[in-house]
Amino acid sequence: MKQSNLFNSTPQQPLAEQMRPKNLTDLVGQKHLLSKVENLLRLKRLPSLLLYGPPGCGKSSLALILAQYKTQNSNSHFVRISAPEAGLPQMRKLLAGADVLVLDELHRFSKAQQDFFLPILESGEITLIATTTENPSFSVTRQLLSRLHILNLTPLKHNELMELALNACKTLNIELEVEILQALTSFSGGDARTLLNLLEYIVALPKDELKADKLKELLPELLQVRHDKDGDSHYDLASALIKSIRGSDPDAALYYLACLLEGGEDPRFICRRLILSASEDVGLADPNALPLAVSCQQAVEFVGMPEGFIPLAETVVYLALAPKSNSTYLAYRKVAAYIKENGVKPVPLHLRNPVTKLMKNMGYGKGYLYPHNYQDAYVDQQYLPDDVKDISFYTPKNQGQELRLSSNLKNRKK
């Protein structure tokens, strides 16, 4: 496919395609990248690129602009392929004679398919300009990443979407109330394509129905919360939820919980994260947090969705409000690091169980003191191996109930 066809829009095309920018001047948003892109264009040879960002932020448009610039002053041409539609045999045919490949959705290619590009990029046979909505660290092989320059695109801001909406109204030769355009930009979630699709939809509605306060009722179901539970936002939102709980912000924690649930996230995944948070972040500062998180998982399994949001919301707020201590998490990591470096040391003989007569003769269990035979069920004796006995792994924190629990240990040691 030659580049001349890609930029010839017609009234029959979707509005999003008609509004596709033809050059960097027309590109809306991504101001943070313009100087970097201009520097790339000054190079004698355009390097292979990976454009990473959410849907509707302009990845494909920027890729096409770069490809057109690369080939416009020569007899070369570029081809554009979508990864889900092309197998390697078809791609080999399409690449014949091409100098630049614009590849959409690179993350949809398997590791073996991505390896196809390694020799042709290494030799400079072709320049690859790829796009992806998923984090390249997880979706693109390390070998291919080392041959690509990454440009990170961001969702369009509200004012940028408004600029795009006003330009689209000029293209359609229509006038809409500012309040309606403001509403559409809010609904589109930083996605230019969603905005233009919504705009194209409402212009076909009777004018007397177009009221800003009634707009959401008129829009189609494409107005769902954006969240790809198999994509990048799955991890971003889950990370934000846990960090908000850790930071004791119930409002933010509830917000990210709702983002996950309204976006169709599996509630069992959320329950697993909450159980881990209850142990790692709340810990002994409130030992009730873990049983509550486990009970939440059982309640969600029993009640199901959509009502399962009720125990989930209760648990999220409880964990956010609870005192925090990661002492047990840190203690385990410290022990694991010691064992990794020094190996497992022999268990003291008096702690070993003398199962056989031979073991007993070897001293297994000899000298072991049974704590329940002593006052307060405590007796001072060595439990750690000899090489480890003077190391302290657990450091209690003065948070919530851990202060009381750890004080028992301190009193006993005195």
* The pLDDT of residue 5: 41
* The pLDDT of residue 299: 94
* The pLDDT of residue 220: 65
Q: What is the pLDDT of residues 134-164, one digit of tens each?
A: 888 878 889 999 889 999 998 888 899 999 9
Measured distance CA(402)–CA(99) in Å, rounded: 65
Measured distance CA(383)–CA(359) in Å, rounded: 19
0.85 exceeded by the pTM? no
- The SS3 of residue 380 is coil
Domains (range + CATH), the chain: 3-152 (3.40.50.300), 158-218 (1.10.8), 232-321 (1.20.272.10), 335-413 (1.10.3710.10)
* The pLDDT of residue 206: 73
* The pLDDT of residue 1: 38
Measured distance CA(49)–CA(173) in Å, rounded: 37
Q: What is the pLDDT of residues 260-270, one digit of tens each?
A: 888 778 899 99
* The pLDDT of residue 46: 84
Evaluate whether 112 touches 83 at the Cβ level (below 8 Å).
no
Measured distance CA(259)–CA(240) in Å, rounded: 10
Evaluate whether 198 touches 171 at the Cβ level (below 8 Å).
no
Strand partners, 104: 82
Evaluate whether 157 touches 190 at the Cβ level (below 8 Å).
yes
* Element of type H or E holding 130: strand 127-132
* The pLDDT of residue 368: 92
Ranges of H-type helices in 263-384: 267-277, 289-303, 309-321, 327-342, 357-361
- Residue 330, phi then psi, degrees to nearest 5: -65, -40
- The SS3 of residue 147 is coil
* The pLDDT of residue 321: 94
Report the amino acid identity of residue 126: I
- The parts of the chain modelled with pLDDT lower than 70 are 1-12, 73-75, 208-209, 212-214, 216-217, 220-233, 412-414
